Amino acid sequence: MDFETSQEENGKENRFNLTGEKRSQNSSSGSNGGSQKRGHLGEMLEETSMSFTPKVARQSRRGEHLSSHVSANRLENLRVVESTIAGMALPKEDDDEEEETNSQENLDRRTKEDKQYLENIRQETLPESSFDDIVGQEEAKVALIQSVILPIKQPQLFEGLKQWRRILLYGPPGTGKTSLVKCTAQAANAPFYSVTCSTLLSPYLGESEKRVREIFSDARANSTKNRPAIIFIDEVDSVTRTRTAHEDESTRRLKSELLLQLEGDFSEKSVEPFIIACSNCPWDLDPAFVRRFSRRILVDLPSSDDCAQILKKKMDKAGVQFSEKHWNSISDKFYLYSGSDIDNVATATLMRRIDEVILCENWDIHSDGRVTPSSPYSRMVGTQSFNSKWANIPNGSIIPRNVKIDDLQYALTVIKPSISETAYQKFTQYEK
């Protein structure tokens, strides 16, 4: 009993002592200011720094190792660059001079090419031909005489009138548009520039539009009031079709330059050349181009009579004569044939007898020693003959047989018109 009481008293006393110590510590903290707090804080920082020092040391060593590795890599890269530069040939003054020489040579070459190009399209002499050599096409002839030849030969007739300086010839292929233009230039005795649109195109940037400018500039320089030049643009539809969003930039620039030149300079200080263009597909032309051609002329297919006359001229040149009865028998066979188609018919007519030479194995001998393929008639009259392949006959010994009306009739079955009825109707309806 006394023992338990004494323990309780001792515990209270201990608690009282502890409380007293705390109070005394709190009271002493006021007198000592922040000295003790700073002391405790310093001890805590010292303990913390001691606990973290190994980790920081490891990180520091790792950073130093990484830095040295990066520096080594940079040094190695610098060595590679230096070795590469050392192996390269640095430009020298001699190289610069050689480059300038090459540039000048290229410039001289391009200038020579441009001059040669203009000489090629500027035809000083035209083949002797006239409208009389062209069968038919009377309406087109009259239109060209009125638009080009008369204004040059008889300019007083057109005083105070606006002349047609931009002319478009359109029609089916093979109707003689190019021949009409050349005959016009021959009759006008004017400087003549023959341009094919494919020759305008150049692989060099800006060269195509430069060629257009040079052609028109040269033509204006060679045009006088009494003798203006004629620029003929064949197959103009190949570069002047309706513009689309998908065409390349070089084609777009070429069209723009051509439109600008076609607009012309009709001031008193300048003499504009005549521009005659040909097209086989006028409906495909860009409307801006069509608008610039004030006169549009249809070069139509020849009539049946004109076709027969063209064919007669071809046969006469080959020494072939048919009776009027024979010509009448084929007069209705020429519908939709162009002049070019008739040329092909004439060639096929004359070539049929050559085909027989290749297939022939029996030959008739003439008095002069030459031979011809045997015919039923020659066998009837007992002409001397022999068997052989054409390849075994001496060179220059074979002569063809005479051309017959059957050959012409056969040619008409082989050579068909190059244009259909539907396609032809597009031309007849174009300006309606």
**Domain membership flag for residue 395:** yes
**Domain membership flag for residue 424:** no
Distance in angstroms (rounded) separating the CA atoms of residues 121 and 233: 10
Place of tokens 């244009």: 419
Q: 14-23, 34-43, 176-185: which has the highest mean pLDDT?
A: 176-185
383 burial level (CB within 10 Å; 0-12, 13-18, 19+): middle
CB 175 within 8 A of CB 300: yes
Residue/partner pairs of 303-312 with CB below 8 Å, 24 or more apart: 303/136, 304/331, 304/332, 304/334, 304/335, 305/331, 306/135, 306/136, 307/334, 307/337, 307/339, 307/342, 308/334, 309/135, 309/136, 310/135, 310/339, 310/342, 310/343, 311/342, 311/345, 311/346, 311/408
221 lies in the same domain as 142? yes
**Domain membership flag for residue 18:** no
pLDDT at residue 267 greater than cutoff 80 = no
258 lies in the same domain as 278? yes
The helix (H) or strand (E) run that includes residue 48 is helix 35-87
Average of pLDDT values for 4-17? 44
- What was the pLDDT predicted at 271? 82
Which residues are 274's β-sheet partners? 230
Distance in angstroms (rounded) separating the CA atoms of residues 379 and 15: 162
- What was the pLDDT predicted at 247? 76
More confident residue, 62 or 304: 304
Name the pLDDT band for 110 (thresholds 50, 70, 90). Answer: low
Place of tokens 């010292």: 46
291 lies in the same domain as 308? no
- Number of Cβ within 10 Å of residue 411's Cβ equals 20
DSSP 386: E
Distance in angstroms (rounded) separating the CA atoms of residues 75 and 3: 86
The domain in which residue 403 lies consists of 304-417
238 lies in the same domain as 342? no
- Number of Cβ within 10 Å of residue 21's Cβ equals 10
Look at the pTM and tell me if it is higher than 0.75: no
Range with lowest mean pLDDT among 38-47, 132-141, 194-203, 390-399: 38-47
Average of pLDDT values for 244-272? 79
- What was the pLDDT predicted at 17? 44
**Domain membership flag for residue 11:** no
**Domain membership flag for residue 397:** yes
Distance (Å) of CA 199 to CA 121, 212, 279: 9, 10, 16
Q: Which of 298, 317, 335 is the last residue of a domain?
A: 298
**Domain membership flag for residue 187:** yes
Could you give the 3-state DSSP secondary structure of residue 330? coil
Q: Per DSSP, which regions of 1-152 are E strands?
A: 122-123
Residue 284 tokens read as 């495909």
248 lies in the same domain as 148? yes
281 lies in the same domain as 313? no
What total number of domains does the chain contain? 2
The helix (H) or strand (E) run that includes residue 67 is helix 35-87
The helix (H) or strand (E) run that includes residue 316 is helix 304-317
312 lies in the same domain as 234? no
Distance in angstroms (rounded) separating the CA atoms of residues 204 and 16: 109
Here the CATH number for the domain that contains residue 235 is 3.40.50.300
184 lies in the same domain as 207? yes
Distance in angstroms (rounded) separating the CA atoms of residues 59 and 67: 12
CB 276 within 8 A of CB 122: no
Distance in angstroms (rounded) separating the CA atoms of residues 227 and 157: 15
125 lies in the same domain as 272? yes
261 lies in the same domain as 326? no
Place of tokens 């390269």: 88
**Domain membership flag for residue 323:** yes
- Four-residue CA torsion sign, 413, 419, 423, 425: negative
Here the CATH number for the domain that contains residue 373 is 1.10.8.60
Distance in angstroms (rounded) separating the CA atoms of residues 86 and 96: 20
Range with lowest mean pLDDT among 61-75, 151-165, 317-331: 61-75
Q: Which of 141, 244, 155 is nearest to 186 (CA)?
A: 141
**Domain membership flag for residue 257:** yes
Average of pLDDT values for 209-237? 89
Name the pLDDT band for 93 (thresholds 50, 70, 90). Answer: low
Q: Which of 298, 330, 361 is the last residue of a domain?
A: 298
Using the CB atoms, write b or e for 330-368: b if 16+ within 10 Å.
beeebebbbbebbebbbebbbebbeeebeebeebbbeee
Average of pLDDT values for 340-357? 93
Could you give the 3-state DSSP secondary structure of residue 138? helix
Average of pLDDT values for 50-74? 50
200 lies in the same domain as 269? yes
Full DSSP string of 255-270: HHHHHHHHH---STT-
237 lies in the same domain as 318? no
Q: Which of 244, 275, 298 is the last residue of a domain?
A: 298
- What was the pLDDT predicted at 82? 52
Strand 122-123 with 166-170, pairing: unpaired
